[in-house]
Amino acid sequence: MFKYDSLADLVAAATQANEPLSKIILREQAEATEGTEEALYAQMERSLEVMRESVEEGLDPDKRSASGLTGGDAYKMMRAVQENRNICGKIFGDAMTKALAVSQTNACMGRIVAAPTAGSCGILPSALLTISESRNIPNEDVVMALFTASAVGMVIANNASIAGAAGGCQAECGAASAMAAAAIVEICGGTPKMCEHACAIALKNILGLVCDPVAGLVEIPCIKRNAAGVANAFVAAELALAGIESAIPADEVIIAMKKIGDAMSSTLKETAEGGLAVTPTGKKLCEKVFGCCQ
């Protein structure tokens, strides 16, 4: 039974078995939960369907969060892509659109999959749905990639944190980016070792990112950070698939993230007492929502 305390160990097991990470994770989890692979697969397939539904819901141009602070941005991004006005091409534009959409669904109290958290819920869905649509990837491969992403998330959670309150946004959007990067690599035919490098690169790119939600709500800057997070995931996956390796192993990067989070001021860990939350505009937005600055 895997302890999910080392990504290197999971990669070694997959390499020895000459299988993708997802297959050994699915098999092991079925044994650990005393269930069947078919039942676990069906559960993950349902999660993927919820992700698709969250994208569709978040594209509504008229939907706004209860606070009134956010809404409509995913539709704007979608229109820019459809009209060829975005500068980085369709795949990149579609990924940002979906990331914004799922995050807006969350802000509007819709159903999402915490991947690994609600605050970072748009990164993994947008990455997998975008790459699968652009390359006509079979649904089964997309579902299986979610098992790889989940294993990465478990290792990070067990060795560091996936909570903004404990480690800042590096723990939330950082973990989600790492999970998405590894999943993209597998779905594009990369090796388990490449998945490990993608995870390391994604996390390194986002180390030190603080959690400073305006008015204490998971909207500003969280929603746009999901768009940045999926961009980071694609960068890491592209580098890894090209054969570029992380000089620092993923497990060591995860420990570094933990130490950075521990050293981070509590004002920068989901308390809305620092960063963007206490800028003049941030305070005004807080007053607009609550009538007084929290």
d(CA 187, CA 210): 30
Question: What's residue 213's pLDDT?
Answer: 98
Question: What's residue 85's pLDDT?
Answer: 97
Residue range 124-169, pLDDT digits in tens: 999 999 999 999 999 999 999 999 999 999 999 999 999 999 999 9
* Alpha-carbon distances, residue 4 vs 55, 159, 193, 240 (angstroms): 30, 9, 16, 22
Residues sharing a CB contact under 8 Å with residue 229, sequence separation 6 or more, in sequence order: 99, 120, 122, 123, 173, 174, 176, 177, 180, 206
Q: What six digits make up the tokens of 205? A: 């790119």
Architecture of domain 7-290: Orthogonal Bundle (1.10)
CA proximity to 94, closest of 107, 105, 80? 80
Mapping DSSP to helix (H, G, I), strand (E, B) and coil, where does residue 269 land? strand
Question: What's residue 293's pLDDT?
Answer: 67
162 phi and psi, to 5 degrees? -115, 15
Question: What's residue 1's pLDDT?
Answer: 79
Say if CB 101 and CB 227 are below 8 A apart.
no
- Domains of the chain, residue spans: 7-290
d(CA 113, CA 118): 7
CA proximity to 124, closest of 183, 69, 84, 83? 183
Low-confidence ranges of the chain (pLDDT < 70): 293-294
Q: What six digits make up the tokens of 108? A: 């509007």
Residue range 40-72, pLDDT digits in tens: 999 999 999 999 999 999 999 999 999 999 999
Question: What's residue 233's pLDDT?
Answer: 98
Torsion angle in degrees (nearest 10) through CA of 285, 64, 233, 86: -100
Question: What's residue 294's pLDDT?
Answer: 55
User: Model-level pTM?
Assistant: 0.97
